[in-house]
Amino acid sequence: MSRLDDVKKRAIDEVEARRDELIELSLRIHANPETAFQETKAAGWLTDYLEAAGFAVERAICQIDTAFRATYGGGRPRVAFIAEYDALAGIGHGCGHNIIATASLGAAIATKAIVSEAEGTALVIGTPAEEAAGGKVFMASRGAFADLDVAMLVHPGNRDVAVTYALACLELDVQYFGKTAHAAARPEAGINALDALVIGYSSVNALRQHIRESARVHGIITDGGQAVNVVPGHAAAAFLLRAEDDDYLEELKDKVLACFRAGAEATGARLEHRWGEDARYRAMRSNRALAEAYRRNMEALGRQVQEDDSHRSMGSTDMGNVSVLVPAIHPTVAIAPPDVSIHTPEFRDVAGSEAGHRGLLDAAKAMAMTAADVLLDADLRRRIEEEFRGGE
Ligand SMILES: [Zn+2]
Ligand SMILES: [Zn+2]
96 Cα–ligand 2 center, Å: 7
316 Cα–ligand 2 center, Å: 10
315 Cα–ligand 2 center, Å: 10
141 Cα–ligand 1 center, Å: 22
pLDDT at 392: 56
Q: Compute the distance between CA of residue 27 and CA of residue 19 in angstroms, rounded to an integer.
A: 12
340 Cα–ligand 2 center, Å: 14
74 Cα–ligand 1 center, Å: 33
The pLDDT averaged over each successive group of 10 residues in the chain (392 residues) is: 90 97 98 97 98 98 98 96 97 97 98 86 97 92 96 97 94 98 96 98 98 94 96 98 94 98 98 95 95 98 84 79 97 96 97 98 98 96 96 60
- The CA–CA distances, whole Å, from 119 to 81, 148, 270, 293 equal 17, 14, 61, 20
pLDDT at 310: 60
14 Cα–ligand 1 center, Å: 29
- Among the bound ligands, the one closest to the CA of 155: 2
Q: Compute the distance between CA of residue 388 and CA of residue 392 in angstroms, rounded to an integer.
A: 7
pLDDT at 312: 57
132 Cα–ligand 1 center, Å: 9
Q: Compute the distance between CA of residue 188 and CA of residue 268 in angstroms, rounded to an integer.
A: 13
End-to-end CA distance of the chain: 38
- Among the bound ligands, the one closest to the CA of 96: 2
156 Cα–ligand 2 center, Å: 8
130 Cα–ligand 1 center, Å: 7
Is the separation of the CB atoms in 255 and 211 below 8 Å? yes
Residues with CB under 5 A from ligand 1 (ion): 95
- Among the bound ligands, the one closest to the CA of 97: 2
344 Cα–ligand 1 center, Å: 10
* Local structure of residue 250 (DSSP, 8 states): H
